[in-house]
Amino acid sequence: MKILRTPDHCFANIPGYPFDPHYTVIKTDDGSDLRIHHIDEGPKDGPVILCMHGQPVWSYLYARMIPFLVKAGIRVIAPDLPGYGKSDKPAAREDYSYQNQVDWMSQWLVQNDFRHLTFFGQDWGGLIGLRMIADNGDRFDRVAIGNTGLPYNPDVPETVVDDVIAFRNSPQKLTLFSMMREVKKMNGLGSKGGSDSNEQYASVKQFAHWQKYTWQTRDVPAGIIASSQMEKRNPLAMALELLMGAIGLRNISPFRTELSKIYEAPFPSPDYKMAVRAMPTQVPSMPDQSLQAQKKAWDFFEQFEKPFLCIGAGNDPITNGFEKLWLAKVPGTKNQPHTMIGGGHFFQWSQAEKLSSLLADFIKQNSAA
């Protein structure tokens, strides 16, 4: 396996990220060494929360939350998924599968021997982390999720599957802005549990624009995409930043924001972006090779009686309604203060203090005396 490693100088002088790096080397199936980075902040004897990020960001997403959590006496572990942040980046498309990410992060979890964890995951951090919990349930004392899920869609009609595959493989070229327009039309991906299948299948087709765009775009503008969901951005400035990136002048563009720079930092060239390109098509929005593993995980959570909390934005088109299946199926959700707090897809940034307070209270109120 060819593995790339982002040079340390790419992370120099990043504001608001004073955290010492911690590295764990795991083995891939072919025997390659894969180095995974994580943050470890807060009191060593405090309750531990494992915070996992999604796509196309990295552990910097939790930089605003960490001081609040640490002040509450909580130890924060925040890894970078393989392919992101300071973690190593396998270079080939076939290296990135849902199962590989689960296996790699489970190996990281066991090798560090983290126990008595509270989990919080969003986006891909939830998809991967929830499967990790199902495979390592004795290591987790409580679970919280936001703007994420555990997609299991065995009944998507063949006509929908055929339409999506044909669209993905079509020569049609998408732009960043045409993709974003379609994704904004979504109203939750697979969150209805079959109660409104037409709306669900419409979202599957709209989500395919994200899947197609990321794969056909060799230099996915991760910084622009992430920053546009965390701060108000002028569309013209975004277009000009995109243009300067296309002609090789991204690093000197006067149109970049600080957040755009930060979320582009792990990727010194397009070669480093294979995870950003490949992972969207691994979301099991339709039946695929992950179907049985997803069912097994749902079987686990349908018997899960430990505390389980849903905190979401409630205004994220990709995951609106994500909490419905969990509240209906997971025993541990009973009598927990589930809530929606606004803030969009990456609400760890926009609602850092509020989300941290809710998670700290969840840990405190569900800890053994």
Q: Which of 126, 190, 157, 152 is nearest to 292 (CA)?
A: 152
Q: Give the model confidence (pLDDT) of 188-218 as tens digits.
A: 886 554 445 667 788 999 999 999 999 999 9
**Could you tell me where the beta strands, DSSP code E, fall in 92-207?**
117-122, 140-146
Span 5-55, pLDDT tens digits: 999 999 998 999 999 999 999 999 999 999 999 999 999 999 999 999 999
What backbone phi and psi angles, to 5 degrees, belong to 193? 60, 30
Name 79's bridge partners.
Answer: 38
> What pLDDT is stored for residue 369 in this prediction?
45
Q: Are the C-beta atoms of 184 and 317 separated by less than 8 Å?
A: yes
Assess whether pLDDT exceeds 90 at residue 111. Answer: yes
Measured CA to CA, the distance from residue 211 to residue 317 in angstroms comes to 15
The pLDDT of residue 200 is 74
> Chain-wide mean pLDDT for the chain?
95
C-alpha gyration radius of the chain:
19
CA 349 remoteness from chain centre = 13
Residue predicted with more confidence, 192 or 315: 315
* Separation of alpha carbons 57 and 265, rounded Å: 10
Q: CA 315 to CA 188: how far, in whole Å? A: 10
Which structure tokens are listed for 113? 């021997």
So what's the pLDDT on residue 250? 87
pLDDT of residue 195: 44
Token pair 């979320």: residue: 263
Q: What is the pLDDT of residue 229?
A: 96
Exactly one of 95, 103, 135, 316 is catalytic; name it. 316
Give the CATH number of domain 3-152+288-365.
Answer: 3.40.50.1820
Q: Give pLDDT, residue 193.
A: 46
Q: Is 155 a catalytic residue?
A: no
Q: Where in the chain is the domain with CATH 3.40.50.1820?
A: 3-152+288-365
Q: Is the pLDDT of residue 57 over 80?
A: yes
How many Cβ atoms sit within 10 Å of the Cβ of residue 299?
A: 10
pTM: 0.96
d(CA 126, CA 345): 13
Catalytic residue among 80, 95, 123, 141: 123
Asked if 116 is an active-site residue, the reply is no
| Active-site residue, 345 included | yes
